């Protein structure tokens, strides 16, 4: 095998299976250019395209993008309304493209707050791409970690009420099965752009052992090189899940 092949192989190994990103900094990106925040959101969509493309071609299994939080309704009405139109327009434009590239689209979050039309488009996008195998693209829309845990409890309570679930059945694995991410691996790498070092109610349960990476790069400027830097940082870390560093090094434990 030529050296080049080895390098290529090495660079593909230890790729995070699931990357979850808080795409933050659109507003500031625009404001720095004396433009309305909405221009930043439009630029943000372009950045999404590049990152999805990278993940789909580099063996990432799941990419979760935080697009709109359950708290983002608190923004000025005009901005919320622009975000909704942008969401709709992006879906209309991109679903076929995602499908052609064998990407499976999924949404997590409370979609009942969206317009009927948007909900319909979301369902359409999921149905059209459901059997695709290249990458699962999870868009978190009107998502909150508190909401996710709460809806899981409500579902469990309903099952308990009809006797399909007993108190003794409840454990961590079971709770996991009722979360919106039940069928997905836990995120390996969390990225937040835009300089804030907080989780902002994103995947609270799921991030328990995720490697966290923060960058001051504003989301519209976050490109494939920036993602590679984040993956490089991920690769340099030793994940221990409670074990000692020696146990992990000796491979005497399975992680």
- Residues making contact with Mg ion (CB under 5 A): 24
Q: Which residue lies nearer to ligand IPE by CB, 143 or 234?
A: 143
Give CA 215 to chain center in angstroms: 16
Nearest residue to Mg ion on Cβ basis: 24
Provide the minimum distance between the beta carbon of 67 and ligand IPE in the complex, in angstroms, as a whole number. Answer: 6
Nearest residue to ligand IPE on Cβ basis: 27
Interface residues toward ligand IPE, by CB under 6 A: 22-28, 66-69, 72, 83, 194, 196, 198, 200
Give CA 77 to chain center in angstroms: 25
Q: Could you say which of ligand IPE, Mg ion, none residue 83 binds, taking C-beta under 5 to 8 angstroms by partner kind?
A: ligand IPE
Reduced DSSP (H G I as helix, E B as strand, rest coil) percent helix, strand, coil of the chain, to 5: 50, 15, 35
Q: Which residue lies nearer to ligand IPE by CB, 140 or 156?
A: 140
Provide the minimum distance between the beta carbon of 219 and ligand IPE in the complex, in angstroms, as a whole number. Answer: 6
Catalytic residue numbers, as ranges: 24, 72
Q: Copy the structure tokens of residue 208.
A: 């328990």
Provide the minimum distance between the beta carbon of 75 and ligand IPE in the complex, in angstroms, as a whole number. Answer: 8
Q: Copy the structure tokens of residue 126.
A: 């999921």
Relative to beta strand 62-69, strand 103-108 is unpaired
Q: Could you say which of ligand IPE, Mg ion, none residue 169 binds, taking C-beta under 5 to 8 angstroms by partner kind?
A: none
Q: Copy the structure tokens of residue 86.
A: 């942008």
Provide the minimum distance between the beta carbon of 55 and Mg ion in the complex, in angstroms, as a whole number. Answer: 22
3-state per-residue secondary structure call for 15-67: CCCEEEEECCCHHHHHHHCCCCHHHHHHHHHHHHHHHHHHHHHCCCCEEEEEE
Q: Which residue lies nearer to Mg ion by CB, 185 or 195?
A: 195
Q: Which residue lies nearer to ligand IPE by CB, 68 or 114?
A: 68
Residues with Cβ < 8 Å from 106, sequence gap 6 or more? 126, 136, 137, 138, 139
Q: Could you say which of Mg ion, ligand IPE, none residue 66 binds, taking C-beta under 5 to 8 angstroms by partner kind?
A: ligand IPE
Using only C-alpha atoms, the chain has a radius of gyration, in whole angstroms, of 19
């Amino acid at each position: 095998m030529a050296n080049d092949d080895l390098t290529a192989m090495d660079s593909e190994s230890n790729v995070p299976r699931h990357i979850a990103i808080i795409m933050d900094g659109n507003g500031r990106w625009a404001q720095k250019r004396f433009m309305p925040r909405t221009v930043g959101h439009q630029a943000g969509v372009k950045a999404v395209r590049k990152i999805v493309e990278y993940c789909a071609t580099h063996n990432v299994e799941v990419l979760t993008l935080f697009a709109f939080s359950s708290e983002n309704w608190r923004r000025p009405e005009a901005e919320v309304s622009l975000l909704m139109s942008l969401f709709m327009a992006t879906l209309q434009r991109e679903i076929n493209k995602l499908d052609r590239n064998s990407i499976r689209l999924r949404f997590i979050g409370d979609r009942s707050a969206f317009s009927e039309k948007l909900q319909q488009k979301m369902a359409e996008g999921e149905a059209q791409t459901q059997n695709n195998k290249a990458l699962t693209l999870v868009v978190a829309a009107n998502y909150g970690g508190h909401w996710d845990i709460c809806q899981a409890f409500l579902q469990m309570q309903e099952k308990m009420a009809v006797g399909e679930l007993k108190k003794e059945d409840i454990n961590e694995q079971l709770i996991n099965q009722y979360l919106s991410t039940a069928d997905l691996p836990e995120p390996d790498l969390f990225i937040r752009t835009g300089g804030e070092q907080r989780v902002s109610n994103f995947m609270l349960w799921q991030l328990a052992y995720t490697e966290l990476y923060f960058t001051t790069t504003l989301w519209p400027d976050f490109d494939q090189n920036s993602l590679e830097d984040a993956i490089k940082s991920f690769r340099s870390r030793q994940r221990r899940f409670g074990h000692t560093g020696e146990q992990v090094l000796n491979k005497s434990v399975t992680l």
